[in-house]
Amino acid sequence: MARRIVAFFNLLHIALLTLAKFMMVAMVLVVFVNVVLRYGFNSGLMWSEEVALLLAVWFGFISLALGVKQNLHINLTLISEHRMSDRANRVLDILRGLVYLAIGLAMLVFGWKLSKMTMGSIMPATLWPAGILYAVLPLSGFVVIYEAAADLAGIDTRDAAVDKYLSGEGTLRDATGGPDA
């Protein structure tokens, strides 16, 4: 059962990474096209700023969740790990996991409330519900909670092929065992 849960979250990480890549490309294209239209043709896309903002927010929070799995967040080393006992290192690892868990829980709970509260508001240019801007918070909070809980429980969520894909070195076929998309 635990392997199935890990496999599900590995696939979720792959899907989120793919979505983040798409969002980054889309954001660059939208901003680029808008700049060209504005300065080259003295016109622009009314909705470009809202869409770029939405893509940037979603990209940022998806990246935050993926960074927890890959341990990519900034770490401040005041004392070398080699100078501390294994027990002290483990206590600090547990503290880091608890902080991640608290942040993930706050993102899940308050992100859900914020998204629900703002679904009635409409963004002026796109006429989309403003809540979709914040809907990524509960999703990324859920992923952060899973990764922090798995780390605290000592569950190894690493998969070499998935890690290779997430770092940009492997293929989707290797990571999923399926056809390359």
Q: Which two tokens stand for residue 58?
A: 């979603």
pLDDT digits (tens, 9 = 90+) for 85-100: 888 888 888 998 999 9
pLDDT digits (tens, 9 = 90+) for 13-24: 888 988 999 999
pLDDT at residue 133 is higher than 90: yes
Residue 79 contacts by C-beta under 8 Å, 6 or more apart in sequence?
none
pLDDT digits (tens, 9 = 90+) for 112-132: 999 999 999 999 999 999 999
Measured CA to CA, the distance from residue 150 to residue 176 in angstroms comes to 21
The answer to whether 45 and 55 have CB atoms below 8 angstroms apart is: no
What three-state secondary structure class fits 126? Answer: coil
Give me the residue label for tokens 């492997």.
Answer: 170
Q: Which two tokens stand for residue 66?
A: 């993926």
pLDDT digits (tens, 9 = 90+) for 57-79: 999 999 999 888 877 777 666 66
pLDDT at residue 179 is higher than 60: no
The answer to whether 14 and 165 have CB atoms below 8 angstroms apart is: yes
